[in-house]
Amino acid sequence: MKAFKSVLRVWLAATSAVIFLATWVILGHSPNPIDSRSHTSVASLPTIAPFQPLSDEDARPFGWQLFSQNNRQQQQPRARFVTGGS
């Protein structure tokens, strides 16, 4: 019985520690609203999703490009804005 209680205590302590660490990691990495006073200085806009070029304007599904600025990916290509009519 004593041995069982000891094992139970150890198990409860370990579980509590794991839950605490997981909560700390999740909260520490949750997104925050952008703070206009502390923008990171970033020059490049990396590609996040692949772009599907369209030849037929009517029949094909949309192509999407999503860019968000990320200072860990300085070497990624910049967003390119081309206008030519539809």
Question: Which residues make up the interface to another protein (CB under 8 A)?
Answer: 31-34, 36, 39-43, 45, 48, 51-59, 62-70, 79-86
Query: Given the complex with another protein, which of 20 and 51 has the nearer CB atom?
Result: 51
Report the C-alpha gap between 21 and 69 in whole angstroms.
29
Query: Given the complex with another protein, which of 4 and 62 has the nearer CB atom?
Result: 62
Report the C-alpha gap between 30 and 57 in whole angstroms.
39
Query: Given the complex with another protein, which of 7 and 79 has the nearer CB atom?
Result: 79
Angstrom CA distances, 47 to 1, 44, 60, stand at 60, 10, 21
What minimum distance in Å lies between the beta carbon of 25 and another protein?
15
